[in-house]
Chains A and B, each alone.
Chain A
């Protein structure tokens, strides 16, 4: 399959495009036109070898051969493409006679992409062979990543700078870092709020079967609203909210908190004298009424935290730069410690590494809080008087991150609510009955039985939400939230594929990494007794 894709690409589609400058369209070149250089014949040979090997029976040898071929194909496609590109640029004057040459560029074209895809498919086929042959995990990981690692090394050492995307990257690399951080931040914040809300709502629908269809329906409706429309709808109310003075909002929150406390007290006091109907009605009314101030509070808090922490991650200045280094070092070290500890035999070393890792993570959290605290204090120190402080100053306004976070949170709800609900509902009633019959309290049943069993399903929902948020997050650029969407939008405006790719490739990588990371978490925390095999 991989061979077919690749050979199709090499034969029939242009490998590279030579463009006279950044904007004008260029001349496509097919592989066969690249001047009969013997080096390029290798690519064809590779595809034929792949085809020949693929016809063999599934064995470990075939697996390894395919892995090697796939990795080589991916690498050589890029590497030889880069050589050819350099060649083309060198001859640009003669090839593009009479055209105004300014910074001629090499655009990777469909043939090159297909070459990469073909290599990847070949690699994947080989990996599935190896998996069937029960090859050790370490070997599998090496097999899967060696080609990519090689490509990455070449990429970092500037070997592939000939490609136009890399040219664009060199030009705007600084900005790219900031955009990625922005993207990660609003997707992350939305994901965290969405997780709390979504799992909470999923729990609610699980506990109260009459509410379940209503909650799922409402969440489903939200998902159908086009994202642009949702951003637009949020624009006006948030802009209005931004005009309010912060103190009035705080007053509002304070009053509602007091009322809520009072209501809870009264309810506790008189709960016995209520009928079951009344009790239900009371709870629902309270929940609905408290939803507005709660939502407001969450929006305010998250926007503020967002704003302050953004300072930490993007501002220059030595304090924050050293914070950043410290934070990433701590995160990496503690994750590494913890992962290694999982492969160790029981013993003191394992415990030290494990608790060291966990402690490191906790320390990371604390430092992060500290950094955000410093960020916010810096921010607040610039405020003249509290009375003049508006909500907009706290980070909430019609455009920017607040509507982005809100909309993304809303979008993340459906998969989270649905999966939490489905995961919990599908726990075998016999299992919960056994737990009840053995004398587990409701909370013990929830934490020791229902949650661990539903966990993989819930995590699947989180992953689903995470990946789609990275994509939808690109649209948030329209309302000035920044992120990778900025490159994509300006790329569309300028008809510059390079810029679009500059936004799109990191987004794809980000989504993949996020998915892989969450999958890793899922694997680590799922009991082997219920893992899919």
Chain B
């Protein structure tokens, strides 16, 4: 747990980078600091492990004023990962990850197993990567090592300053997903600084939006998107906040679990029936194991005499979305393929539901009415 109590950072020239900031980061949560550059987010983060000193107010780390703990001792108990990664180029991957355990004077055998465990955790093969040097790794691999190094001595708290900022968008997404997965396992208390609102929404359990050294709003991503406190926050999260909110909702939370489906072996009449009864324009065809085989549309069903002739047989990945993807992904898929309804499958390709454009529209309208009710 990290508690900021009325923290001020004032520089000798009178500039207040942080101006009376109070907030509490709960154990095991990812708290994202976000704001325009110069808002004091990095300064605030760096005051936690005393890389920057506090001018007034105090910061409690696990209940203790951080100035009561010697700076080096404090920092060894707090994981630290930065955008530029800052791996030590002259040390092997093993030595990099082992830095803090070495500083703490762990035994070599314990360090060895710890490093292997951490490398595996961040998705690197210890036997393959251990003795390499940082420059032999790709940017994404280096950042994984950066995270493993920050976790070096299992610190209860981690500070992450735009850790995925310098990585290409695709790898960034992968690393974000992986890190969320890791966090489920390790549940550290994390302060995560970023300037990317999408990243903040994705990573944060709670988001603190900062401006000129003060907190403008500190809330869960959903609340911030639904109820931006003022115009600054509204502008900051962007005009597409409704769309962004869709990104917070998993498909399996809102999908229709009774999709229009017809068995591959069924007669064509069955398909016609389903389409007519549910006033749809198409139905999905599944095989005996429930896996999606393709789809059949209204015109074809009425024109042809057998289902196999009428249906369009396609690999499921071409038309379906995964059930653990976000609603935003589903919307994107429907717009791209100009479907009004899209099938939802599990990881094995089994049809588990469907989601329609109309249901998404309803979802957005509900959000908007909620939002306008609360905000002035």
Stretch at the interface among A349-357, A413-421, A428-436: A428-436
Point out the residue from B82, B90, B91, B149 that lies within 8 Å of A430, measured CB to CB.
B82
* A439 and B86 form a contact (CB under 8 A): no
* A430 and B86 form a contact (CB under 8 A): yes
CA gap between A528 and B131 in the complex, in Å: 11
Q: Contacts A436-B51, A439-B73 hold; do A430 and B85 have CB atoms under 8 A apart?
A: yes
Contact with B along A491-533 (1 / 0, CB 8 A): 0000000000000000000000000000000000011111000
Closest chain-B Cβ to A218's Cβ sits at a distance in Å of: 31
> Chain A residues near B89 (CB, 8 Å)?
431, 453, 527, 529-530
The B146-185 residues at the A interface (CB cut-off 8 A) are: 149, 152, 159
Closest chain-B Cβ to A526's Cβ sits at a distance in Å of: 8
Contact with B along A419-463 (1 / 0, CB 8 A): 000000000101101111111110010001100110000000000
* B133 and A439 form a contact (CB under 8 A): no
> Chain A residues near B159 (CB, 8 Å)?
437
* Chain B interface residue bracket vs A: 20 to 34
> Chain B residues near A452 (CB, 8 Å)?
90
> Chain A residues near B87 (CB, 8 Å)?
431, 434
Task: Judge whether B75 is part of the interface by a CB distance below 8 angstroms.
Answer: yes
6 contacts between A and B (CB under 8 A): A433-B51, A435-B99, A436-B51, A437-B159, A438-B76, A438-B100
Point out the residue from B80, B92, B133, B134 that lies within 8 Å of A437, measured CB to CB.
B80
The residue on A at minimum CB distance from B90 is A527
CA gap between A527 and B92 in the complex, in Å: 9
* A433 and B92 form a contact (CB under 8 A): no
CA gap between A507 and B86 in the complex, in Å: 44
* B135 and A529 form a contact (CB under 8 A): yes
Number of interface residues of A (CB under 8 A): 22
Closest chain-B Cβ to A444's Cβ sits at a distance in Å of: 7
Point out the residue from A438, A453, A526 that lies within 8 Å of B103, measured CB to CB.
A438
Task: Judge whether B84 is part of the interface by a CB distance below 8 angstroms.
Answer: yes
* A528 and B133 form a contact (CB under 8 A): yes
Measured CB to CB, the residues of A under 8 A from B are 428, 430-431, 433-441, 444, 448-449, 452-453, 526-530
Point out the residue from A428, A444, A526 that lies within 8 Å of B86, measured CB to CB.
A428
> Chain B residues near A436 (CB, 8 Å)?
51, 75
* A439 and B91 form a contact (CB under 8 A): no
* B103 and A530 form a contact (CB under 8 A): no
Q: Contacts A529-B92, A529-B134, A530-B90 hold; do A433 and B72 have CB atoms under 8 A apart?
A: no
The residue on B at minimum CB distance from A455 is B90
CA gap between A431 and B74 in the complex, in Å: 19
Closest chain-A Cβ to B235's Cβ sits at a distance in Å of: 31
The residue on B at minimum CB distance from A434 is B86
Point out the residue from B49, B86, B91 that lies within 8 Å of A527, measured CB to CB.
B91
> Chain A residues near B51 (CB, 8 Å)?
433, 436-437
The residue on B at minimum CB distance from A444 is B103
CA gap between A519 and B76 in the complex, in Å: 37
CA gap between A440 and B51 in the complex, in Å: 12
* A437 and B135 form a contact (CB under 8 A): no
* B99 and A438 form a contact (CB under 8 A): yes
Closest chain-A Cβ to B131's Cβ sits at a distance in Å of: 10
Task: Judge whether B88 is part of the interface by a CB distance below 8 angstroms.
Answer: yes
The B85-134 residues at the A interface (CB cut-off 8 A) are: 85-92, 99-100, 103, 133-134
* B76 and A439 form a contact (CB under 8 A): yes
CA gap between A428 and B83 in the complex, in Å: 13
CA gap between A346 and B80 in the complex, in Å: 34
Closest chain-B Cβ to A523's Cβ sits at a distance in Å of: 14
CA gap between A333 and B274 in the complex, in Å: 92
CA gap between A444 and B103 in the complex, in Å: 9
CA gap between A439 and B49 in the complex, in Å: 9
> Chain B residues near A448 (CB, 8 Å)?
88
> Chain B residues near A530 (CB, 8 Å)?
89-90
A-B interface, 10 closest residue pairs, ranked by CB to CB distance from nearest:
A434-B86, A529-B133, A439-B75, A430-B84, A527-B90, A437-B80, A439-B76, A430-B86, A439-B72, A452-B90
CA gap between A433 and B150 in the complex, in Å: 13
* B82 and A437 form a contact (CB under 8 A): yes
